[in-house]
Every structure is written in structure tokens, then in C-alpha cells.
Amino acid sequence: MIEKIKIQLNGKTVDGYVGETIYDCATRHGYDIPTLCHDPRIEPFSSCYVCVVEVAGMRGHQPSCSTKITPGMEIITESDELRKSRKTALDLLLSNHYADCMAPCKQTCPAGVDVQGYISLIDKGRYFDAVALIKETNPLPAICGRVCVRPCEAACRRNLMEEGAAVGIDYLKRFAADADLASEEQFVPVIKPETGKKIAVIGAGPGGLSTAWFLRLEGHQVEIFENAPKPGGWLRYGIPEYRLPNDLLDKEVKNITDLGVKIHYNQKLGGNLSYDTVQQQFDATILTIGSQKGTSVGCPGDDAENVFSGIDFLKNMEMTGQRYDFSGKTVVVVGGGNTAMDCCRTAVRCKAEKVYVVYRRTEKEMPANPIEIHESKLEGVEYLFLTNPNQVNKDKKGRLKSLTLSRMTLGEPDASGRRRPMPLPDSDFDLRADFVLAAIGQKTDVNFIDNINAFASNGKLAVTRWGDIETNKITLQTGIPSVFAAGDGVTGPATIIEAIAQAKIAARSCDQFLKGMELTSPAKEFLSKRDNFKTQVAADYKHKYMHQSRHEMPVLEPEKRNNFTEVELGYADAHIAHDETQRCLECGCTEYYTCDLKKHSTAYQAEQKTFAGEFGEFDIDFRHPFIEIDNNKCILCSRCIRICSEVVGAGALGLVNRGFKSYVSPAMGLPLHETSCESCGMCITACPTAAITENFSFKPGPLKLETIETIDPFGSEGFEIDLMHHKGLFYKAGSRKGSVNTFDYINRSAMFGYKWLNVAGRIKTPLLKENDVFKPISFEEAYALIANKIRSVEADQNAFFGGARLTNEELYLIQKLARAGAKTNNVSSFHYMGRGDGYFHNSNANASFEDLPFASKIYVMGGEFHYDHPVLNHLIFNTKHKRNIEIVHLTTQDDTAFSAKADRVIRFTNYFYFVKAVNHYLLKNSMHNALFINDRTEGFDKYLQEILKLDFAQLLQWAGTDEATVAAFAMEYNDEMNAILLFSEKEVSANASVALHQLAMITGKLGKTANGIIALKEKNNAHGIFDMGVCHKIGVGASPVLDEAMQENMMKKWGVNDLPFTINSVYKHITSNRIRNAFIFGEDPVGCAIDQADVKKWFERIDFVVVQDFTMTETAMKADLVLPSTMPWEVGGSYTNTLRNIQQIEKQMESPVQHTGFDQLVHLLKALGVNGSETPEQALLEAFSLLPENDPNELYHFNYKEKDNFNRQFKHGCDVLNKMVEEEFVNSVIRRFRNSTIRQ
């Protein structure tokens, strides 16, 4: 019992424990103290000084993570001084954090569209999800994919690479958006519950449409009032169709109106629509009127006939539907923006003989999209740079005759940052022109202001000195509290993406207003930026990333552009889009949403430039196939180093140099994969930033991820884990503390193998092979076919197989299907088939994982234990670190990595005979625990008689050892007060596991606290196979299946009158051509076979094979019928870990499969006339009802085994999931970097 003490915590008296730190005590009592260097899995380090607290009587602030409480201690965890101290500590850390939280593309997007995120989704072909992500901030992706000015691409760091071209961000956005629009299942957002509030939006341009979208998603009713006969505003009436087709615009508008947004056309505010009506019918109004009033050339004579404003020229064509005929005419466009480009290119399509663009600066200063400039030149447009009109010349009738132009030169920069154009003396010249289109600016038309102010009941609407609507710059609320404004009407003429950005702000403020909330902007988040340290230059990126040229947009040939057909054709296929995504340098941090440093820096308003000066700059180390090291993000907390040493026992990381020059490096300066690194990923779980992360084999985002709480699907320990996913696509895995995983560790296979859950080509419907080609059929057809096949042969010519990946509920129904449905006991698992019955009970009375930290000595039997069972490896070596106990390795292998970690190694050649020799030695020398044996066991006398008959010298020979080694181990293990021996079924035979059980009984250690053995299996639910009776010999609870009471109970519970009364060896049946139909659930015997040729022969002799799995395994390819399987989080169920703990998994995700794996078994049982459990919960309860009564006085049994029976025929637990993960690990780490004896 730990002694309690009283302390004062923030003025309250609370209980603490002797030896407890302030941090742990405060956390336990619900106080949140920020920390970066503390990890409860390792010893305190006190390096970040973010966790400081005030302690009465102590000078200065104290690190709470390492300061232990004492009786009566008075502690304050929050004060102004502490906030200052923590901010200073964070400022110091940030001053050497040369990294980007957010990618420059997202930073420069006015709407904050997550460019890196949606590119990562396009990379995976997830166009629906990419559009969903884009529409969180931009509801018009297909439109923006065509006409956005692309500030994101200007900021793209691919521009600094050799190819000198940004990632085709807009092209990719367009590709995803077009794919979504063409899909039968377009993205439709979720609308929040209806609020009953109504909002009027004035104007159906990009600002109005976007505002309506954002407000509708909040549950408000939205109606748009548009002056024009059609929606789109400037998108329709200012951008020609060769750039933005109207049918495309209409589709995106429809996506908004389909949400319930109404649009009223030909409604002019202040004209036929009075604000009085609006005010009475709506709770709020948002003005998104645009800035569509054109300006003229701005020089004498610009009132001449045939001189038009550019926007009036474009608008009139769209409004009337009539194209200008410029045949034989010369058209001069004045201006250098995108409107000028639209005018000059439209003039070409109106058959102008000559088109000039007059611009007063150079091409370099033109604000127009460079691609537009390039395309216009291809279409024949000529440019007069450094030229400015100063006179429009008319004929006698007032018609345009020519333009007088002046040559210009560039002087000093003006307010825009561009060099001011200055006229050159005596440089005037005339240019004949038939039409002049002025594309030099736009104004806002606010002729409705008097109408609004006349009827406004509270406040007044005002305009700025530039003629735009005056608003609060932060909230976009006008002088009338219920009226907001957004877009060009507020900013003056801007861009579509700026209008969308303003729309989101106005919608947020309007939503807050309607809910009676204070109008606020989103909280400012801290963002680390490389640009805060230095300007990024080409040398920072060249030669560090692979050269890859940009996929340019395919376009119509110039000679085919004599019409308004869309010029840009879009990427041709998904391959091109995928290739372009690979050019993304992933500048933004993968831990954007989870970084502790960012979280605390935001909370304490930390600043990166407070201590500006020298900083470290490192190349990112991608050499390890699973682990990426970026010292630019390192805060020197040493958590990675300490967890690698104190927990994993590998010591693969260390600090190089001292003080400011320190950095984390693999041991001896080697590449990480050439050190003692075990590729377990624990360093990643320890890192509070992203200095050590997964070296992803795909583009990871960053993305907001959802979490599935589940059990490790690879190992038998049953450790809880989190699987993080985005819309069903798994992106990472993490440890989770739970009833079994009290240590918060994670298995290597789960840490890096989760991605195989995303395997391409997941099976979703039954597939029937016809003429060697699989064709989809209905589930009903599949059930009928299976039932007919089962009935068409003798009962024992059917065989059923259940894999160790399946839930208990599925395994239970498989054996029920065999016994009650098909009337055969031919049910087994390939994983255990032919390996004997010694594994049935080897988990009985095992030591617990919680016992390991209290062991006085730990023995590990097997080869590369740290690879096969990494979590227990961590627990073992953390115990060694804390208590300095000895780790002894018992192995038949030479020079293993685990042996190098162990304190001592005992080598021999055979596990079974070594343990048998130890048992013989103990009994021969009367060193057995007679009291334990007499009280707790049965069958000892017979066992003693049999084992002592053996020739000890022969046992030693078979074991490959000598008497001294056996004697030393036997006495040592027997005498050790708290000795635990762990072994793995992967290397230890069934009979050897029985011998180990007998060793624990002989020494009296079985079932005692911190003593005995721990048996480890190869798959997560391997023990469930025995518990659920998936074996020809045993029923539920591993009881003899032919036991009379068991038979009666099964018939009663299952509602059947007869059950099979014969037992056949399934192994002998399948190898002797006696199986006609094989039904395989969740196993891949062909793909996992050690002797693949032999196993393939088995299947060649079987008439009809059914395989249920989630992907087309090698076994599935040989099947006649393939059924889709489901994941446990898609249906719910339970697993039994190696210590016999039953752990429940809830359904947390909808399955893409219509009938789940469990449902299929229910349907198959019904097809064979057997009813019963409809849900996993009912199935488990039914299984429990078949368990034999527990006898509290049941004795452990000595069962003599004569020979070794190591007959492991399948690798990877006979599971394709484990196979894919382990083969990747072997191919990418072991074979590539080491000569290893690891067995698969």
C-alpha cells in the first residue's frame, strides 16, 4: 500500500502519494500542466521548463515533472508569472524550430484551403474526399480550378527546384472537382439541425453563393436575391465561356441550391426589391453585390463611340447572348489584369483582324495569370508594353479613330510595390483602332444605400471614401447590426478566392449574430514558419528532392480556338493527376493537428522571433524505410533517446555535441537502419513535435483524422491501439492505454502495418469463378450455392476453417455451421492444423503482463523475440532498466539481435528436449515442489514414471546441450523467487509448451504472482480458436466435443436433434484426398504455406473451395467462390488474448460490404435450416452458455509427451494481413540492411 500524504494544490487540500511528482499528482486531480519533455513511460528529464509551477518556500519556478511532493507542500499551477515563464520557455524553443507548421500554399490562400491535404487525397484517388475537404473552405472548386489566380502556386516551393514550376494545384483541384461532378454519388455535406432563422443574401456571385453555402450548413434558411436573370455574377457575366463554361457554373450552383438555398432572379435591391420587405421577412442580410461597374480609359476623348469598359463588353455579350462581330477590325485592350486577358482573347474569338494589349509596365509586372498571357500570344494577340494611352482620337462623327500612346519607363516603386511607370519625353505615337476596351478597373455600385437607410430600424449603412461598403474589418458587420457584407463590394475589385474568403467570415459572423453570440474572429493559432528565419532560396531545395517536371494543362490547338469552346481540357486521366501530386514537397507538418509544441505555443501566445538569431538547419533523414528524422523540428527533449534506451533496450539514438549545437542522431553517426534500431516506432510515439515521424509511403496530409479504438490485429497480447483514419482510409496507428495495455506501448506491426488495411481491391461482393474468371453474384446466390454443395456430398467430405484474425463470434458461428449445419466435426484452423493438442491449454494459469515488472529474473525462449513480440520486449527491458534485473535468452539460434541485448544467453538445438532434460534433472534430484504438486496437480506419478525411464544423456544429445548447462538452468530457475519464462508458439512446439507447463508445475511456480510462464501466440485471436471450438476435437471452452453433456447442451441451444459423433483428423483428411468441399474463413494457406507446392496440391484435389477474405489472396485466387470479409470495427465483436482476456470491440465504422462476415454466417446457417444468433452480442452469449461449469478445485494435469512435434506448416499466423506486414518489414529492413536469422 503506497503511503498517502496531504498537500495544498491551488489552495485546496488534496491527497498525494509518497514519491509522486507534482505533475502526476496535479494531473490525477484534474489540473492541466503543459509539458513537452515529460512522458509517463520514462524517467523525468526536466529539459523544456514548460511545466514549471510555483512551490511555497522554493526559490524560482520548479519543474513539476521531476519535483516530488512532500507533506504540506503548497503548489500553484496557474498564475500570470507562470504564464510569462512558460511563454519565455516556448519562445526559446521556437527560436530554433526551423520548420513550417502550415504549407506556404495554404498560408497564401485567402480562403485557407488545405491544399496539401486535398493533394494527399487525390494522390490516393479519393476525389470525393478531396472535394469534401476543399468545400470546407471553398464551395466552388470546379470553378476555382479554372479561374482562380492561384496565389498558392506562386508560393509553392517547387518553384525553387530545377524545373522552376509550381505543383499544378489548380489543375488537381479541377480534376478532383470534375470527377466529383461526373460521379453518380457526388459529395453532399451534412447540414446541421434547422435553426428556424432566415437570411437574405443580396447577389448570386461567388461571394453570395459561398455565403449561402456556409450558412445553409449551419442549419439556417437562405434565400439569394440576384439582379441578373441567371446566377454567377461576374463568374457568368465577366468570364468568357472558353475559360468557364456556363454548364459547369450551373452544376456548381445546383450543388448549392440542392441544399435548400433559394435564388430569386431579376431582383434589384433598392429597385423592385425594397429593404423594407427584406427586413420584415429575414433575420439577417448579407450584401454580396460585387464590384461590376466599369471604368473607361481615363484620358481625353474616352467618351468616343466604340470605346467600352472591358467588363461592360463582356457582360453585354452574356446578357444578350449576341457575340460582337469584329471582322476586319483592330481592337485595342488597355490594361494588364485578367479582365484584359479575357477581353483580348474574346476579341480574337469575335474575329478581330488585329488585337493589341496596351500596358504601361513590362510583362514581368503584369498582374494577369502568366498562362493567360502565354495563351493569348498563341492566339495572335500582340503586346505593347511600357505604353500608355494619353488621348483617344475621334473622327468628325465622334467615333473612335485612333489612340495616341506614350512610351514609358519604370521609376521608383509605388504604393503597390511595383515600379512606377513614367512617360518618356517626345515618345508619343498614334495607333489606329476600331474598338478600345478599357480593362483598368471596376467600381462598386451602391445605389441601394438610400433604400436600406430609409427603412433600417437600427443603425445606418455607410460607404468608404472609395465607394465601397463600410464594415467592421474583422467581422464584416455593417453599421446595421443585422446586415453584413462581403466580397468585392467591401474590398473593391478582387478575386474569386478573396470573395469566397470574405464570404466565410461574413457567414461566421452572421451565424454568431443569429445565435446571440459575441462576434469574434477565429482564435489566432501559432504557426512556425521557415520564412521567419530566412528567405527560402533555390539552394535550400535543389538536389534534395527528385526532379519531376510539371504536367501542363492540355489545351485546344490555337487554330481551333475560333469559338467559345473551353480551351483548357483538364488532365486526361488519374495517372497524370497522381503523377502531379507526387511533385508536392509536403512542406506542411504532418503533426499539424497533434503537435504539442504548436498547441502550447497557441495557448501561451508564444512568438518565434522573440529570440531571433542563430538557428540550426538540417537535412531531413529519409533513409530508414519507416522512420523519418527532421532535426529542424527537434526541441531536444530527448524523449526519443530515452524511450529507445529505457523501454526498448535498443539504444539506437543519442545526442551529438553539447549546448546549442546539440542534435539527435543515430548511434555512432550511422544511418538509423544500420544501428541497433528495431524499427518498433516507439521513438515516434514519444516525440512531442514531428522531429521523428513515420516515413510514410504515401502522402499523409496533414488531415483531421478520426480514431477507431480497437485491439492490435497482429499480435496475441491483446494490446489496445488507436487506428486513425480519414473517411475510412487509415493514415496512422498509435498506442492506447487500456485494461491490457496499461503501459501505453504499441506493436511494430500495428505501428507501421496499419496501411495494409487500405489494400487496393478490397472485395465487397461475392465472386464466382466461371471459366477462370471471377464474376460478381448476389449474396443470396452465394448462400444457395454453398448450401447445395454442402448437401451434395457426405457430411465428412466437407471441411471448415476459421482464421485467428476473426472475432470470437465469427469463429463460434463457423464451428456451429460445421456441426449443426453440415453435421461434421471437420472444423479447424490451418494455423494450428497438424500441430497437436499441446497448445490447447498452454495459456492456463499464466503470469500476467502486470507481473513482469515484479519479476526478479526474466527468461525469454525463442529467437528474435523483440521483433515477434515487441510490446513485451519493451516491458521486459523497461523492467530491467528500473530494477536492474537479469534477462536470460534461451535460444536455438546463433548471433541474434535479441541475444545481444540479453544479459546472458543459453544456447541449445531443441526446445522440447532441453525443457524435458531440465524436468528430468529436477525430478531425478528430487528438486520438485512436492507440496504444490500434491495439492494442485494430478497425473504426476505416471508422468514421473515415464520421464525417469528416459536416458538423460540421450535427452542432452537430442537437446544439443550438456549436463552442466541443464543443471545450472534447472537450479537457477527453481531457486529464483520470482522467475517468469516467456515463449512463443512461433518457435516452440505444442509438446514443448506442455513441457514448459510441466516445468512451472514441478517448480511450484504455475499460477503464482510474478512467477511461471507466459505463452505467446502468433495471431491476435489464436486463443479464440480454442475457446470457440474451432477444432475437430474440442467444442466451446476447449472441452471434448464428444462429451455427452457437451453434446446435449449444444443440441439444446442450437435447436437440432442430432450432431456428428465421429472425429476425424482434418489434417489427415485434407492430405489424403478425402475433402470434397473446403470453406475457408480468414486464412490464406496457399500464400502463407512453408511448403507452398505441397499445399497447392491439396487444393487441386478439392472439388469446391470457398474463401472469405478482404482481398484476393493466393488462396482466394484458387477458390471457386470468394466472399468478402469485414473488419471487427465494421461489425463489432470480441477477441481473446493469449492470457485469456476477452476484449470487446465496438462497431465504429460502416462496412462497404452489404452483408458483414458475421451476417454471412448467420445466412448460411439459415440456408442449412439452423437458426439462432442474429447479432454478435447474441452469438457470444450463446457461446458462453455452452461453457462447462467452472470447477474452483480443478487440478493442473501432468500430460506426458514422448516426442517433439514441431510441425509449423504456415507462416504469419496463416493470415494475409500479417503476411503483407511481415514481408514488407523483411524486405525493407532485414534483407536490405542485415544478414538475419529471423524466421517468418
Q: In what order do the strands lie in the sheet with 307-309?
A: 307-309, 435-438, 330-334, 354-358, 382-384
What pLDDT score does 1230 carry?
63
- Within a domain: residue 684? no
Residues 1009-1031, mean pLDDT to the nearest whole number: 97
Query: At 1236, is the pLDDT very low, low, confident or very high (cuts 50, 70, 90)?
Result: very low
Separation of alpha carbons 1072 and 1066, rounded Å: 10
- Within a domain: residue 662? no
Separation of alpha carbons 117 and 589, rounded Å: 11
Residues 780-794, mean pLDDT to the nearest whole number: 98
- Within a domain: residue 1214? no
Q: Which three cell numbers stand for residue 962?
A: 550438456
> What string of H, E and C letters represents the secondary structure of 484-519?
EECCHHHHCCCCHHHHHHHHHHHHHHHHHHHCCCCC
Residue 282 has pLDDT above 90, yes or no: yes
The CATH code of the domain that includes 405 is 3.50.50.60
Question: Quick check: 245 and 569 in contact, CB under 8 A?
Answer: no
Same domain, 435 and 572: no
Q: Which of 880-889, 890-899, 1226-1235 is modeled with the greatest confidence?
A: 880-889
Closest-CA residue to 949 (of 911, 920, 928): 920
Query: At 1239, is the pLDDT very low, low, confident or very high (cuts 50, 70, 90)?
Result: very low
Closest-CA residue to 1022 (of 612, 673, 711, 734): 711
Query: At 415, is the pLDDT very low, low, confident or very high (cuts 50, 70, 90)?
Result: confident
What pLDDT score does 1238 carry?
37
What pLDDT score does 1234 carry?
43
Residue 1231 has pLDDT above 70, yes or no: no
Residue 402 has pLDDT above 90, yes or no: yes
Considering only 385-399, 899-913, 1180-1194, which range has the smallest mean pLDDT? 1180-1194
Residues 419-443, mean pLDDT to the nearest whole number: 94
pTM of the model: 0.92
- CA distances (Å), 740 to each of 711, 804, 805, 850, in order? 10, 19, 19, 9
Q: Decide: residue 584, CB within 10 A, 0-12 exposed, 13-18 middle, 19+ buried.
A: buried
Closest-CA residue to 647 (of 65, 41, 44): 41
Same domain, 250 and 283: yes
Q: What are the pLDDT digits (tens) for 977-994?
A: 999 999 999 999 999 999
What pLDDT score does 760 carry?
84
What pLDDT score does 1 carry?
64
The CATH code of the domain that includes 735 is 2.20.25.90
Closest-CA residue to 1030 (of 749, 763, 830): 830
Q: What are the pLDDT digits (tens) for 548-585?
A: 999 999 999 999 998 999 999 999 999 999 999 999 99
Same domain, 329 and 305: yes
Same domain, 288 and 298: no
3-state class (DSSP) for residue 178: helix
Q: What are the pLDDT digits (tens) for 456-465?
A: 989 999 999 9
Same domain, 57 and 147: no
Domain count, the chain: 7
Query: At 806, is the pLDDT very low, low, confident or very high (cuts 50, 70, 90)?
Result: very high
The packing angle between helices 963-975 and 911-924, to 10°, is 70
Q: Which helix (H) or strand (E) holds 74?
A: strand 74-76
Among 484, 514, 544, the domain-final residue is 514
- Within a domain: residue 905? yes
Q: Which three cell numbers stand for residue 181?
A: 461532378
Query: At 1240, is the pLDDT very low, low, confident or very high (cuts 50, 70, 90)?
Result: very low
- Within a domain: residue 120? yes
- Within a domain: residue 587? no
- Within a domain: residue 624? no
Same domain, 1054 and 996: no
What pLDDT score does 997 carry?
97
3-state class (DSSP) for residue 99: coil
Same domain, 232 and 368: no
Supply the range of the domain harboring residue 1078: 767-804+818-829+1026-1197
Residue 759 has pLDDT above 90, yes or no: no
Residue 537 has pLDDT above 90, yes or no: yes
Among 414, 439, 464, the domain-final residue is 439
The packing angle between helices 206-217 and 246-257, to 10°, is 30
ω into 151 cis (within 30 of 0): no
The packing angle between helices 115-123 and 574-581, to 10°, is 130
3-state class (DSSP) for residue 736: coil
Q: What are the pLDDT digits (tens) for 2-56?
A: 899 999 999 999 999 999 999 999 999 999 999 999 999 999 988 999 999 999 9
Among 1016, 1037, 1071, the domain-final residue is 1016
Q: What are the pLDDT digits (tens) for 842-867?
A: 999 999 999 999 999 999 999 889 99
> What string of H, E and C letters represents the secondary structure of 31-60?
CCCCCCCCCCCCCCCCCCCCCEEEECCCCC
Q: pLDDT above 70 covers what percent of the chain?
A: 99
Closest-CA residue to 165 (of 701, 558, 547): 547
Same domain, 509 and 532: no
3-state class (DSSP) for residue 801: strand
Same domain, 737 and 725: yes
Look at the block and give the residue holding cell 524435458. Answer: 916
Same domain, 871 and 1011: yes
Look at the block and give the residue holding cell 478575386. Answer: 495
Q: What are the pLDDT digits (tens) for 590-603?
A: 999 999 999 999 99
Q: What are the pLDDT digits (tens) for 1090-1107?
A: 999 999 999 999 999 999
Question: Quick check: 1084 and 737 in contact, CB under 8 A?
Answer: no
Q: Which helix (H) or strand (E) holds 390?
A: strand 387-394
Residues 1046-1070, mean pLDDT to the nearest whole number: 95
Same domain, 280 and 299: no
- Within a domain: residue 886? yes
Separation of alpha carbons 1223 and 1240, rounded Å: 8
What pLDDT score does 901 carry?
94
Q: Which three cell numbers stand for residue 40?
A: 509517463
Residue 1233 has pLDDT above 60, yes or no: no
Same domain, 331 and 379: yes
